[in-house]
Chain A
Amino acid sequence: MSLQPAATMLICSVFSATAAATEWIVDNDHSRLGFIATYDGVGLEARFEHFEARIRFDPQHPEEGVFDVVVDITSVNSDSADRDEGMLGLEWFNAKKFPQARFVSTGFRQTGAGAFEVAGRLTIKGITHSIGLPFAWSGVDNGARLKGKTILQRTDYKIGIGEWESDPIIGFEVEIVVDLHLKGKH
C-alpha cells in the first residue's frame, strides 16, 4: 500500500510527457448530478438536468486529470415544481443572481483499486470552498463510469439563510451525488 502509490507516481512522472489523459464526453441521458437533502429527517433527492462537464482522466495517470464542471442551478429537479421554485429563491440558491455553480479540480490521487479522490474548488452562490470528492472509476464497454459522493454543509455556501440558517428542519448536511456515464472523445 505504501509503496504502490509512490511507484505509480514515479512511473507516471516518467511517462507523463507522452501519455495524454483521455478526454471524455458525458452521456447526459444516463448521467446524474444531484444531491440528497433532508426534510424533517427524511432524504429528498434532487438532480440538475443541465450541466457541462469537461472531464480529462486516465486511471493510469490520475494526476493529469482535469475536471471542470459548470452546473445550471435553474435546472434543479426534485419532482416537485413548488419546491424547485422555492429552492431557486433568494434564501436558497438565489439563482437569479447566481445561476451557475462550478467545480474545478486542483488535484487527484488514487486511494485504492479503481478508487480515486479529486480535490477541487467548488463555487456555489458565489462562495468558493475547497472540497474533496472520492469517486470510483470503472471502464465499461467503450466508455467509463464515474461514481462519487461527498457531504457538504449547506450553510458553508449560505444555502438557506435567515431562519433556515439555524433551523435543522432542512438538514445542514447535504450529500452530493455524482454518477456520470462517459464516452471517449475521438
Chain B
Amino acid sequence: MILGMFVLGWIAVNYPMSPTKIKLFVWHKSLGISILILVLLRIAWRLTDRTPALPNHMRTWERRLAHTSHMLMYLVMVTMPLSGWVINSAANFPLKLYGLIRLPNIAPAGKALQTQAELVHFTFFWILVALLLLHIGAALWHHFVQRDEILTRMLPGTTRRLRKAAD
C-alpha cells in the first residue's frame, strides 16, 4: 500500500492539470486515509500485544537502532497521512473517501499553512524512504548474514511456533 502511495503521489504531483490528475489525487487521498486507519490499529495492537523478543546475539546498539527505527516508522506513517490531510484542508479541497465518505477539513484554508504542510509531507516522504531501506536492508542482513529468524518470523503463522518453542 505504501509503495502504491509513493507511485500514485509521485505521478499525481507531476501530472499536468487534468481530470486524470484529480482522480489520481482522489485515489492517493483515499489510500492515505486508509493507511492512517490501519497504522492506528497496528499501533493499538502493538501497544496491547506482546512483541517477540529480539535474538540474544544482538548487541545493545543494534537493539537501540532497531527500536528507534521502528518507532520512527510509526511516527512517519502517522505524520504522512495527517500532513496530507492538512495540505488538502489548507488548499480547501473536499475530501471524500473512495468517492463515498465525506471527511471534514482538519485545518483552516490558507496558502502559508499549505506550503508548510507540503514541506512536512515531502520531507517525511524521504525519511520514510530512508527508513524503509534501512528496515529492508536490516531484515536481509539478519537473514543472510546473521542467519537468524528475524525475517522468517515476520511471516504469518510463525509467531505461535516460535512462542511455543520459547516456552
By the criterion CB–CB under 8 Å, are A40 and B26 in contact?
A: yes
CB distance from B97 to the nearest CB of A (A): 11
> B residues within 8 A CB of A83?
91-93
Does chain B have a CB within 8 A of A42?
yes
Does chain B have a CB within 8 A of A167?
yes
Give 1 or 0 for each of A23-41: 1 = CB within 8 Å of chain B CB: 0000000000000000111
Question: With A86-B17, A167-B19, A169-B23 as given contacts, are A41 and B93 in contact (CB-CB < 8 Å)?
Answer: no
Does chain A have a CB within 8 A of B94?
yes
Name which residue of chain A comes closest to B91, CB basis: A80
Give 1 or 0 for each of A42-75: 1 = CB within 8 Å of chain B CB: 1110000000000000000000000000000000
Name which residue of chain B comes closest to A38, CB basis: B94
Does chain A have a CB within 8 A of B52?
no
Total interface residues in chain A, CB < 8 Å: 21
By the criterion CB–CB under 8 Å, are B111 and A81 in contact?
A: yes
Question: With A164-B19, A167-B19, A169-B19 as given contacts, are A39 and B94 in contact (CB-CB < 8 Å)?
Answer: yes
Does chain B have a CB within 8 A of A156?
no
For residues 78 through 94 of chain A, which have their beta carbon under 8 Å from a beta carbon of chain B? 78-83, 86, 89, 91
In the bound complex, how far is the Cα of B76 from the Cα of A14, in angstroms? 77
By the criterion CB–CB under 8 Å, are B19 and A44 in contact?
A: no
> B residues within 8 A CB of A163?
18-20
16 more A-B residue pairs beyond the given contacts A43-B94, A163-B18, A169-B22, with a C-beta to C-beta distance below 8 A: A40-B96, A40-B99, A42-B94, A78-B92, A79-B92, A79-B109, A80-B91, A80-B92, A80-B93, A81-B111, A82-B111, A162-B18, A163-B19, A167-B19, A169-B19, A170-B22
Q: Which residues of A contact B (CB under 8 A)?
A: 39-44, 78-83, 86, 89, 91, 162-164, 167, 169-170
Chosen A-B contacts, 24 in total, with CB atoms closer than 8 Å, are A39-B93, A40-B22, A40-B26, A40-B94, A40-B96, A41-B96, A42-B96, A42-B102, A43-B94, A44-B94, A79-B92, A79-B109, A80-B92, A81-B111, A83-B92, A86-B17, A89-B17, A162-B18, A163-B18, A163-B20, A164-B18, A164-B19, A169-B19, A170-B22
